[in-house]
Structure 1
Amino acid sequence: LGFTAGFSASLIFVPFQATVQVHTPVHMTGRVFGVLNSVMTTATIIGPLLGGWIATIIGVVPTFTITASLLVLVALIGFLTKRKVERGNADVSTSKQRTPEATTS
């Protein structure tokens, strides 16, 4: 069960981090990854605490039902947003990104 959960998490975290690296300008990389790591750490701490508190108040089964419903809602919002963003990027020209150290003068 732990292996399956870890493997499933890697299917989310690895593509997300790779996408952020590709789409982040070089001069903003530190700021972007600093914010992302802060948000992920905060979610890692607050998630179990909030889940335990909610399960204590309303029960375990309603907590799982609410969590599953919210997960489906977030997935649908993400899917619709992704389609909208990809449609907007169709008109943008692409260029090769380089680091300042890699360019020759």
Structure 2
Amino acid sequence: MRFSKHPIHPQDKTSALASIKEGFLFMKQTPLLLTGLFTACFVLFILQIGDSQAIILIRSFPGAPPELAGWCMAVSGAGMLLTAAIVGKRRISSYLLYFTLGACLLGIATGCVPFLGGLGIVGTALFIFAFFIMGAAFGLVHIPFQILVQTSVPVDYSGRVFGAIQSMTTLASILGMAGGGVLAELIGVSLAFLICGCLLIAAGLTTLIGKKMAESRRYFVTESNKGAQR
């Protein structure tokens, strides 16, 4: 058995952790980046809960076709691809607006799916469409956030910032898959979807309120500067 000539030493792990910490410190100095990171992680967390518990929710629907879960996963990916194609061609004037819209749309779709089971064929079609909206909504948050990072982070910090982002999104994904089962076991899968949807809408509205407050503060600062110059 052959071993690497360059074994990993404890200081290498410390260096990696220090690099991630520096990435977080850089984002802390840019509130928009930090807001985008937490929004993207929260959206990913909820999406993983939805994906992991979709099969259990479908089983509670009377007469649901067995291939419904596969269709939902497929249209969710299609929604994200469609969003990527559209957002990639547009000039983003307000990242917070994309974050708000994505979180609210995902919240509405997530909160509605438990109520579509008893509506027959129409309910099945709406259930599939809801997962399409989930994928598209995730893209509305994730893709503008990636664009924001690529355009606002200096090259010297890009590795550290992307390392910090990767660690957070991986953690959110793992917690979403693991926590979805625990949450569904404690309160039921339908109520879990409803609560997650409400939390996402609240997060989106909070981001919108923060955007309005920042714009208002910027307006008053500009007006006060104009008054001082007169």
Same topology, TM > 0.5 = yes
Unaligned stretches of 5+ residues in structure 1: 92-105
Give distance in 1, aligned partners of 2:215 and 2:164.
Answer: 24
The answer for the alignment partner of 1:15 in structure 2 is: 144
> Separation in 2 of the partners of 1:66 and 1:55?
11
Match of 1:42 in 2: 171
Between 1-10 and 47-56, report the one with greater CA deviation: 1-10
Q: Residue 87 and residue 38 in structure 1: after superposition, are their counterparts in 2 closer, same or farther (change >3 A)?
A: farther
Q: Alpha carbon RMSD of aligned pairs, Å?
A: 2.2
Q: Which residue of 2 aligns with 1:2?
A: 73
Deviations 1:1-28 (A, max 9, x none): 3233122133332221011111112221
Give me the whole-angstrom Cα distance separating, in 1, the residues matched to 2:74 and 2:208: 27
Identity percentage over the alignment? 35
Q: Does 1:76 align with 2:205?
A: yes
Structure label with greater radius of gyration: 2
How far apart are residue 80 of structure 1 and its match? Answer: 2.4
Secondary structure in 1 matching 2:186: helix
Distance 1:70 1:29 in 2: 31
Give the whole-Å Cα distance in 2 for the aligned partners of 1:18 and 1:89.
24
Flag as ranges the 4+ runs of structure 1 deviating above 6 A.
87-91
Tell me how far 1:87 sits from its aligned partner: 6.2
Equivalent residue letter for 2:208: F
